[in-house]
Copies of this chain bind each other. A is one copy, B any other.
């Protein structure tokens, strides 16, 4: 009950109200600028105006909090993908795949901390259908990619025999590039040039799938 110094908001009630949410939000903020390693339990509790151990009433460990943040990051990515898809005034089924890839790469660029948190942590299951990591459609990023590929098969632009496992190939290429741009050798490439490479990569996927 000290404070007025922390600057976050002094609490007057003994109970916080929605500490779980507050911790999660703090965790997301930490991940946003600083990546997964910056998600520090004590700092999250500090921001929530609460003693460190209070966190353990809502998360079994720091790792559990990190997983929750990770799920939120995946959900944010899913939303970004859905937005990019919604922009599409039917440019054909290939456009769907391209929109997914574009959204993925943009997300990596604009939210590097969240992106790294989403993927630089072991964590279960893009496959598993937890709604915590899904967008408005209820689909997570991985599933959205699957749908785009299914549409391509339905439209006849992707041979059905090449469909199984295709998400892994597409995902690999895009994910790999995102990593290289984010913290690999392409880190200090001028933005215009990264855009060119991004386009060429999407071309490669289109052609090579």
Contacts and interface: CB of A to CB of B under 8 A. Distances in A.
Interface of A: 119-123, 125-127, 142, 165, 168-169, 171-177, 179-180, 183-187, 196-197, 200-201, 203-209
Nearest to A166: B200
A163 to B, nearest CB: 12
Given A120-B120, A168-B197, A169-B200, 12 more contacts: A119-B179, A126-B184, A172-B173, A172-B201, A173-B173, A173-B176, A175-B176, A175-B179, A204-B204, A205-B208, A206-B208, A208-B208
> Chain A's interface: helix, strand, loop or mixed, by majority?
helix
Contact of A169 (B121, B185, B201): B201
B179 A177 contact: no
Which 8 interchain pairs have the tightest Cβ spacing? A208-B208, A176-B176, A204-B208, A172-B176, A172-B177, A175-B176, A126-B185, A207-B208
25 contacts: A122-B183, A123-B183, A125-B185, A126-B185, A127-B185, A165-B197, A165-B200, A168-B177, A168-B201, A169-B177, A169-B204, A172-B173, A173-B176, A173-B204, A174-B176, A175-B179, A175-B180, A175-B184, A176-B176, A176-B177, A179-B179, A204-B208, A206-B208, A207-B207, A207-B208
A170 to B, nearest CB: 9
Contacts of A203: 208
